Amino acid sequence: MSSKVYFIPAKREDGNEVLAQKAERVFLKTALHEQIENDSFVAIKIHFGEKRNTGYIKPQWIINIIRQIKKITSRVFITDSNTLYVGSRSNSVEHLLLAEEHGFKPEILGIPAIIADGLIGRDDGEIQVNLKHVKSAKVGSLFLNSDAMICLSHFTGHIQSGFGGAIKNLGMGCASRAGKLEQHSDVHPWINSKLCSNCGVCFDYCPAQAIVEKGDKAFIIEDKCIGCGECLVVCSVGAVKFNWDSDSVRVQEKMSEYAYSLRHFFNGRINFINFLIEVTKDCDCMSKDQPAVVEDIGILGSLDPVAIDQASADLVNEKSGKDILRAGYDMDWSVQLEHGVEIGLGSRHYDLIKL
């Protein structure tokens, strides 16, 4: 069965006002607003962009979408969850300051920004799914207390999944730190004893008492570790390590399963808007300005995360005249889509409706 994907050509040169109007047109076509009830809590999921990154979706492009939601409910907010790795977005304080620096603030948006998994990434809840890899998805608790979601994704290439679009933004982006660690790694963290100063900070943070002192260094007892990932971000000298899963197939499949859990949770009250503007080789987690790999293409909207990502990948590759997403890291990006079809996340068949 085909899913509808709405598409409007757009480019940076259109300017903020026109881009906001175009995003609004795509948003309205998905008709999500008809599913939102008065006074319900609506989460707008976005990536605020890492420090020094410039490719993220600009706040000025989404203000008309916000205005449409505010006609129905005032309980709308913009959100993301904290990162697994140490950086400018690993706790809510620094994350919100960076969001504000990038313009995601009430003076521009008219709504607050809230971090989805609490001050230090501990506030999560679970969605039972019983899929191939993921039995219970660990996501920011804010999502579980929301009634509807608008998933705004900047479509880019990605080092672990070939590309990152709606599936990645939903699956990885809404996961708590423990959920991100589950998707990114098949083994628990470990401590590099050469770097550890035995300061004891991680001992206090570990909720499972899995870290002990061994030979004047910290040591993680694997059997006790519950994979929450807290030790990764509290160690100021970077002594806590984890192995990024090099198996892209497994990472992509887990990502699709996490995305499934959230889509299932919102039960029809979620839509997806992909921005194919400043499509870069790497995602917005990169702390740098990156050149675009293709000319700007436009804005897409759909109720189906698989269909919108398939359409986005097709448009990007058509524009560049080759599989430029594969050229980035020689990775089969279709795994996330195919696994998405297998588990009922969506359809790779779509009708592209040009606005």
Q: Is 226 in the site for ligand SF4 (CB under 6 A)?
A: yes
- Binding segment (CB under 6 A) for ligand SF4, from list 23-31, 52-60, 135-143, 234-242: 234-242
Q: Does 220 bind ligand SF4 (CB under 6 A)?
A: yes
8 Å CB contact between 233 and 121: yes
Task: Please state, in angstroms and rounded to a whole number, the distance separating the CA atoms of residues 137 and 156.
Answer: 24
| R_g of the chain computed on alpha carbons | 20
- Minimum CB distance to ligand SF4 smaller for 97 or for 212: 212
Q: Closer CB to ligand SF4, residue 102 or residue 138?
A: 138
Contact call for residues 175 and 133 (beta carbons, < 8 A): no
Binding status of residue 189 toward ligand SF4 by CB under 6 A: yes
DSSP strands (E only) in 221-263: 240-241
Q: Does the footprint of ligand SF4 cover residue 230 (CB under 6 A)?
A: yes
Please give the Cα distance from 165 to 134 (Å, whole number). Answer: 20
State which of residues 200, 247, 268, 349 lies at the interface with ligand SF4 (CB under 6 A). 200
Q: How many residues bind ligand SF4 (CB under 6 A)?
A: 29
Which range touches ligand SF4 (CB under 6 A), out of 20-28, 40-48, 65-73, 190-198? 190-198
Residue 182 sits in the site that holds ligand SF4 (CB under 6 A): no
- Of positions 199, 244, 268, 342, contacts ligand SF4 by CB under 6 A: 199
Q: Is residue 77 classed as helix, strand or coil in its secondary structure? A: strand
For the CB of residue 212, give the shortest distance to ligand SF4 in the complex, in Å: 10
**Cα–Cα distance measured from residue 52 to residue 42, given in angstroms and rounded to the nearest whole number:** 29
Other residues' Cβ atoms within 10 Å of the Cβ of residue 236: 11
Name the one residue in this structure whose structure tokens are 């430029």: 324
Give the integer Cα–Cα distance in Å for 175 and 182: 9
Interacting residues toward ligand SF4 by CB under 6 A: 188-189, 191, 196-202, 205-206, 208, 210-211, 218, 220, 225-231, 234-235, 237, 239-240
